[in-house]
Each structure stands twice: as structure tokens, then as C-alpha cells.
Amino acid sequence: MLEAYFKLKEEGSSVRTEVIAGVTTFLTMSYIIFVNPEILSTTGMDRNAVFVATCLAAALGSLIMALVARWPIGMAPGMGLNAFFAFTVVGAMGFTWQQALGAVFISGMIFLLLTVTGVRSWLIAGIPHSMRSAIAAGIGLFLAIIALKSSEIVVDNPATLVGLGDMTKIGPLLAIAGFFIIAALDSLKVRGAILIGILVITVLSMALGVSQFGGIVSMPPSIAPTFLQLDIVGAMHSGLVHVILVFVLVEVFDATGTLIGVAKRAKLIEEGRPNRLGRALLADSTAIVAGSLLGTSSTTAYVESASGVQAGGRTGLTALVIAVLFLAALFFSPLAGSVPVYATAPALLYVACLMMRELVEVEWAEITEAAPAALTALMMPFTYSIANGLAFGFISYAVLKTLTGRASDVHPATWLVAALFVIRFAMVGE
């Protein structure tokens, strides 16, 4: 049955290879089941319910990818947008987490519409390559400042705005140790390096009395506190319009880039050969809507899926294995609840370092490309908002190209996004 549905022989694979690939990808991306509840619970959301929502959203997204697109790509709530959701939309802007979930739902519906109508392809084609790279790097910087702040490595300083924390405290030292463990293991090509780092620091923090041991296995907690709690009407608030725009833009760039990148590595997109990219994009956008209903931020394709492809994964059976493993993870909620911020912060910081590599793709020799890209990346951490980084980047790109007589080089999609952000600033008077 598996052979007939996933066409394993045709793709040059086998059940054993696909299972190994699925386990490999799961190990590299499963850190999200610890990190996502840590981030979203800062909004007042029930941590245990978010844990369940994270596992279910990842399982459902991966299942849709497995059965609809039949690609070896894992899905789960995305890093970056969960931080934007918690620290900017709820924390800084003051909206409720229910309204923020409503914004995720609306963005998912728009995303679905853009995919079905083909507008998504037009939007992707119209965004400058340097800007796409800068967005990824900027989100990395945003994650870095969150990680450094939450672990108390970087603290508030009235004289200089920010300063170095007390490096003799146990918390910051644990976070630094966690980062070194993750980076070293990943460099040595150890599967599940981030997950291992989180678990090692969790055990150390328990031994040192920083956190309490709550157990390892139990029946899954209730999802009721977050299930269908989204406030769609409240998300129609004018102040959330640009938030929805940011969700859509980042979802479009992040997910599409990941899908195409991993699919190319698996040789699923080749000239003269039919591919299922359209179905993969559809699965991706459908998962966002489902995730918002369950009670988590935007679900997206995970670049960590490349590790499974490297292990031989070529079909949807890999994604099916990932979905099953995320369902199995539901029974580890006590362990997830025992993980302290000092164990998740190193994971955030390491993911940030990986995302920073995108800066090499920026055309630094051309100032009209380099300056907007730099502004995009810098404004995200310094204003604690992905939205502001996107706004400064797109507006400056359009302005600089116009002032240098190259307005015709700006794609209509870029003009549209820049105009929307100008209107946003004019509306809120910022």
C-alpha cells in the first residue's frame, strides 16, 4: 500500500530509508515542542495547551504535506513569527493573544487565496533577492535579542540602553553552555543537536535547583484553553492590518523558499519533469489555518527537513513518519513543562546564527540593494519588531531606486508592499 501510494521505487527509495529520514528530520526540528510553548506562554496562553497545539499543528501540517503533496518535508509552528506574535503583537502592541490568533487565521486564509489564484508566485517573483535574504537574517537577529534577553546575558542599562548581564549567575552560564553544546554537536553532524542541547541543560538546571523536575511521560493535557479561542472579529482592528500583512509576507517568503530549497536538494523539482510544488504550497497554507484554530502561531515548512533528505527521504512517507512522531510527543508534556528558559534560549540563539548566513546573499557592492537590506535586518532587533524591519526595508528600497533614476527596476509587488507600509505609518502616526 505504501509503495503504491508514495511510489517509493519510482523515487529510488524504500520504506526503511523513508522511516530513517523521517526520524532524522523529527530529531532536528522537535526542539519546537519545547521552544514554542516557552515563547507563546509569555502572552498569557496556557503553556500545556500550547504544547498540545504545537504537537497537533506539526502533526497535521506534516500529514497534509505527506498525503497531498507527498514531499519529504516536515511542518511545525515557525520560529520568528512565534516571537513576533508574542513579543510584538501581544507584548508591545497590547493586543490579546486571541486577537493575534485571529490575525494568524486571516493571514492563513489570505495565504491560501494567494496560492490558489497564483498571486503568490507573482509576489515572490517581485521581491528583490537581497530583501528576501535580509528578511531571514533580520528575523535571526530578532530571535537573538530575545534569546540573549530572556537568558539575562543582555540586560537593560539606563546609560547605554543595553548592557552585559551578570556572567557569574547560574542562568546565563547555563545558556552559554547550552549554546556551545548545540553548536559543537551540530558541527560534528550529530542528529538532533538542538534537542540534545535543550535536554542536557534541562537536566543540569534541575540538578542545580534552577528548575523543578515535573516528570517525563503522562497523558496529554487539555487543549481546551487555546482550541478555537481565536478572536477573528477583534483581529479586524485597524492596528492589526499591518500585522496580518507581516504574517502573510513572512509566511510567503519563508515557506516558499524552504519548500523550493529542500525540494531541489531532493531533486523533486527538475526541468522537464512534473512536480507537486503547487500542492506543497497548498498544504503549507492550509496548515496555517488549522494551526490558528488549534491555538498556535503560523505553521510553516521546516528547513531542517533537508537533514531527512540527506538521509535519503524522497517521498511523503518521510513526512508521514514525522507526523506520527509529533503525535507520540504529546505524551511528553511533563518533560516540556520542566524545560527552563535557560535551556530554550541557546536553541533560539543557535537558530539565529544559522539564519544570519543569509546575509552573504545580499549584493553588498550595490548600495541601492545593500542599504535597504541592512535596514531591514537592523530594524527588526532594534525596534523589537519584524514589521518595522520590513517597513523600513521595502520603503527605503523603493525610495533609493527612485532617487537614483531606477524606479523602473522596482517590481509592482515591491511598490505595493512599500505603499501599504507607508499607509500603515500614516494611520498610526508612528
Residue with cell 546564527: 353
User: What whole-number percentage of the chain has pLDDT above 90?
Assistant: 23
pLDDT at 254 over 90: no
Q: How far apart are CA 87 and CA 98, in angstroms?
A: 14
Q: Which residues pair with 156 in a beta bridge?
A: 162
- Three-class SS state of 30: coil
Cell of 376: 531591514
pLDDT at 275 over 80: no
pLDDT for the residue 19 = 86
If you average pLDDT over each of 173-177, 209-213, 275-279, which comes out highest? 173-177
pLDDT digits (tens, 9 = 90+) for 61-113: 999 989 888 888 889 998 878 888 898 888 888 889 999 999 999 988 988 88
pLDDT at 273 over 70: no
CB distance 384 to 80 below 8 Å? no
- Residue in 94, 77, 425 with CA at minimum distance from that of residue 234: 94
CB distance 418 to 394 below 8 Å? yes
- Helix, strand, coil % over all residues of the chain, rounded to 5: 70, 5, 25
Q: What is the average pLDDT across 259-276?
A: 67
What is the rounded (10 degree) CA torsion for 49, 51, 52, 56?
A: 140
For the ranges 115-124, 194-203, 341-350, the lowest mean pLDDT is seen at 115-124
Q: What is the average pLDDT across 408-417?
A: 88
pLDDT at 272 over 60: no
On whether the pTM is more than 0.85, the answer is no
